[in-house]
Amino acid sequence: MITETDKESTLRRTRGRAIVPLKSPTCDHPETVDTPLQLIDPTCDSRWDAWVGRYADAEIFHTSAWARVLKETYRFEPRYVQASDTQGREVLLPLFEVNSWLTGRRGISLPFSDECPALGDPALLGRVFDGLRREGTRRRWRYVELRCGAEHLAGSTPSSTYFTHHLDLTVPKADLFARFDPAVRRAIRKAEKSDLTVEFSHAEGSMRDYFRLHEFTRRRHGLPPQPFAFFDAIRRHVLEAGLGFLVLVRRGGVPIAGAVFFYRGTQALFKFGASDLAYQALRPVNLALWSAIQKVHDHGCTRLHFGRNAVFHESLRRFKLSWGTVEAHLHYTQFDFAAGRFVTEPSLLQGWQNRIFRRLPLSLSRVAGRLLYSHVA
């Protein structure tokens, strides 16, 4: 049962249940779904960050800052869930509705986010998911996808599986360095002896320098780059808010490698990385990552996430493991409304399209990125 909190609405009673048409959640009028479930927009409702602040394991993807990035860049609609019961238990689940004429309408927790588990008591997740199934039916979603944590749902099966890698930051930096593979340690020492400089920044000019590296790196991987508006939104809403930083390695003032890191509380995340292959022999990527690792360590973070890794990207997997990380599996779960069951989703990260994007001129690849990412979240 779904009700609306708009004071001007009137309830129609049918078979003893309150039924009203719903509007999109707003700051003044959040929706309630099977009270006490409610849907809110965290970009204008300050309660969300206050709720998230109660959880030490919350990450950047749980915050309103990340919601602002996605809403502003791609015009997705936030439908974040807060649920509680009479025993004081609670669940918080970030979720966006993606509505595309090309790929349909669906609920995702959370677009362009590696993993975003629900916060709170997993015992309530089943009730939350039941509410989302009713909401998805009403909104005519193709599917609802949860990125991590759905093992608590009865009958759920993974729709896709990735590797994830985490670095323990609770040891001294010297011990961290000792855990790296010998090749990584040699590369760092070589880079430190070169004429390279390291810059931490959240300035627009620095982000544009990074973005140029990012465009070429994405093309090497056979993928279009995200629009610059996405990175500028990250800079304004996340980095300028003190929730992350951009690290650039330069040679003679020329940017040759860079990475974007996020942190919230004790959790840090390596989100994006890019480099110029012409300078690979100087090992600027190793210098950028080691400099960033030391920074998040000094910040008080106890865990660094290296992001998700497709199971077929073996070279990227080996690279992440070489930094002394611990590997685990990351499962996404997708409920298909037409089929009425959990389904398996084939990966779109590898296929014929990669060969096309590797050969596209950069100008066309930029256009493709601007057009496609709002449809393939």
Which CATH number fits the domain that encloses residue 289? Answer: 3.40.630.30
The reply to whether 216 and 250 lie within a common domain is yes
Q: Mean of the pLDDT values across residues 191-209? A: 97
The residues, ordered by sequence, that sit 6+ positions from 364 with a Cβ below 8 Å of its Cβ are none
Tell me: pLDDT of 202 over 90. Answer: yes
The reply to whether 167 and 26 lie within a common domain is no
User: Which of 329, 347, 363 finishes a domain?
Assistant: 329
Instruction: Give the pLDDT confidence score for residue 356 in this predicted structure.
Output: 82
b/e burial code for range 174-189 (CB count within 10 A of at least 16 → b)? eebbeebeeebbebbe
Instruction: Give the pLDDT confidence score for residue 28 in this predicted structure.
Output: 64
Instruction: Give the pLDDT confidence score for residue 349 in this predicted structure.
Output: 60
Tell me: pLDDT of 50 over 90. Answer: yes
The pTM (predicted TM-score) of the whole model is 0.88
77 vs 367 pLDDT, higher one: 77
The reply to whether 148 and 266 lie within a common domain is no
Instruction: Give the pLDDT confidence score for residue 14 in this predicted structure.
Output: 29
The reply to whether 233 and 322 lie within a common domain is yes
The reply to whether 75 and 148 lie within a common domain is yes
204/85 Cα distance (integer angstroms): 45
Instruction: Give the pLDDT confidence score for residue 10 in this predicted structure.
Output: 31
Instruction: Give the pLDDT confidence score for residue 172 in this predicted structure.
Output: 97
The residues, ordered by sequence, that sit 6+ positions from 232 with a Cβ below 8 Å of its Cβ are 204, 207
Question: Is residue 364 assigned to a domain?
Answer: no
Question: Is residue 350 assigned to a domain?
Answer: no
Instruction: Give the pLDDT confidence score for residue 155 in this predicted structure.
Output: 84
Instruction: Give the pLDDT confidence score for residue 347 in this predicted structure.
Output: 63
Residue 222 contacts residue 310 (beta carbons within 8 Å): no
Question: Is residue 260 assigned to a domain?
Answer: yes
86 vs 217 pLDDT, higher one: 217
The reply to whether 83 and 167 lie within a common domain is no
Question: Is residue 365 assigned to a domain?
Answer: no
Q: How confident is the model at residue 15 (pLDDT cuts 50, 70, 90)?
A: very low
Question: Is residue 236 assigned to a domain?
Answer: yes
The reply to whether 144 and 201 lie within a common domain is no
CATH of the domain at 98: 3.40.630
142/153 Cα distance (integer angstroms): 19
The reply to whether 177 and 110 lie within a common domain is no
Question: Is residue 66 assigned to a domain?
Answer: yes
The reply to whether 125 and 218 lie within a common domain is no
Q: What is the pLDDT of residues 19-41, one digit of tens each?
A: 223 345 667 656 655 446 799 99
53 vs 1 pLDDT, higher one: 53
The reply to whether 173 and 221 lie within a common domain is yes
User: Which of 92, 123, 156 finishes a domain?
Assistant: 156
Q: How confident is the model at residue 2 (pLDDT cuts 50, 70, 90)?
A: very low
The reply to whether 77 and 101 lie within a common domain is yes
Domain count, the chain: 2
Question: Is residue 367 assigned to a domain?
Answer: no
Instruction: Give the pLDDT confidence score for residue 20 in this predicted structure.
Output: 28
Residues of the chain with pLDDT > 90, as a percent, come to: 73
Q: How confident is the model at residue 87 (pLDDT cuts 50, 70, 90)?
A: confident
Q: What is the pLDDT of residues 125-180, one digit of tens each?
A: 988 999 999 999 999 999 999 998 888 788 889 999 999 999 999 999 999 999 99
Domain housing 83: 2-156
User: Which of 329, 347, 366 finishes a domain?
Assistant: 329
The reply to whether 133 and 174 lie within a common domain is no
Q: What is the pLDDT of residues 282-334, one digit of tens each?
A: 999 999 999 999 999 999 999 999 999 999 899 999 999 999 999 999 999 99
Question: Is residue 41 assigned to a domain?
Answer: yes
Instruction: Give the pLDDT confidence score for residue 22 in this predicted structure.
Output: 36
